[in-house]
Structure 1
Amino acid sequence: MRKNSIKNTRINGEVQRELSQIIRGEIKDPRIALMTSVTGAEVAPDLKTCKVYISVLGDDKAKTDTIAGLCSAEGYIRRMLAKNLNLRNTPELSFVLDESIEYGVNMSKLIDTVREKEKGEEDA
């Protein structure tokens, strides 16, 4: 696997920031949850494709609705991205649900319960 160049890393950051602003401020689709954030963007070195990692706070229905809403607005988002960023090619966007934050919160809760259990056994 190839390591990202400095240029590609910078492009990933710019695309992530711009997509976050577009999704938060310009899309009026009611399917997209209010607590939606862009956790990452991976632009291919040839600038043809981009994987956008989306984190949604809510239940499973909110997550699937948000991804469906973003996929249907992909053309508009891509057009706004081309307008706001000066890239040679505007990448095709594919949205991926990122559950790493939710996983981290669950792991933190499990660790806390184990610590409480050990503390209770220690006191007894």
Structure 2
Amino acid sequence: MLKDFSRSMRLERSLYKEIAVIIQKNLRDPRLNSFITITEVKLSYDLSYAKVFITFLNYDDKKNIKIILGILQNATGYIRSLLNKKIYLRIVPKLFFVYDTSLINGIFISELIKNI
């Protein structure tokens, strides 16, 4: 009997959901006043590292993007400790937050197509 999803895909979905809830409800930094959206979570082959792709509204400035990514990167220990309580894993993956530019690129391409 074949499984529809591998373990890494199921874990990516669980991490996606739990990290989104943690960022919205548990992080209380006043500098995180924008709506942060997780677009994707990618796990390494050995499940020890996770890239969390995020995007947020109201910030197009590269300086603000770096500040928010720095805040999230500094909070990874706290996020991992909360993940450890919610998802039972032997090793909780190390998190790396990356700004996802695919949404902006998609909007740019759509505008180019409209202008043709």
TM bucket (normalised to shorter chain) is: 0.7 to 0.9
Greater Cα radius of gyration, structure 1 or 2:
1
Q: Which residue of 2 aligns with 1:14?
A: 14
Q: What do residues 46-95 of structure 1 show as CA deviations (whole Å, max 9, x unaligned)?
A: 22111111112212233112101101111101111111111121011111
Offset of 1:108 from its aligned partner?
0.8
Q: Which residue of 2 aligns with 1:44?
A: 44
CA distance in 2, matches of 1:33, 1:46: 34
The one-letter code matched in structure 2 to 1:63 is I
CA distance in 2, matches of 1:44, 1:33: 30
Offset of 1:45 from its aligned partner?
3.4
RMSD value over aligned CA atoms? 1.4
Indicate if the aligned counterparts of 1:33 and 1:56 stay in contact, CA closer than 8 A.
no
CA distance in 1, matches of 2:19, 2:13: 10
CA distance in 2, matches of 1:33, 1:101: 20
Tell me whether 30-39 or 89-98 shows the greater mean CA deviation. 30-39
The one-letter code matched in structure 1 to 2:98 is V
Percent identical residues: 34
* Secondary structure of the corresponding residue to residue 96 of structure 1: strand
The one-letter code matched in structure 2 to 1:49 is Y
Q: Which residue of 2 aligns with 1:59?
A: 60
Alignment length (residue pairs): 110
The one-letter code matched in structure 2 to 1:53 is F
* Secondary structure of the corresponding residue to residue 89 of structure 1: coil
Q: Say which structure is richer in helix.
A: 1
The one-letter code matched in structure 1 to 2:90 is R
Output the TM-score relative to the length of structure 1: 0.81
Indicate if the aligned counterparts of 1:33 and 1:62 stay in contact, CA closer than 8 A.
no
Tell me whether 54-63 or 98-107 shows the greater mean CA deviation. 54-63
CA distance in 2, matches of 1:99, 1:32: 19
Unaligned runs of 5+ in 1: 115-124
- Moved beyond 3 Å, runs of 4+: none
Unaligned runs of 5+ in 2: none
The one-letter code matched in structure 2 to 1:77 is I
Offset of 1:33 from its aligned partner?
4.1
* Secondary structure of the corresponding residue to residue 30 of structure 1: coil
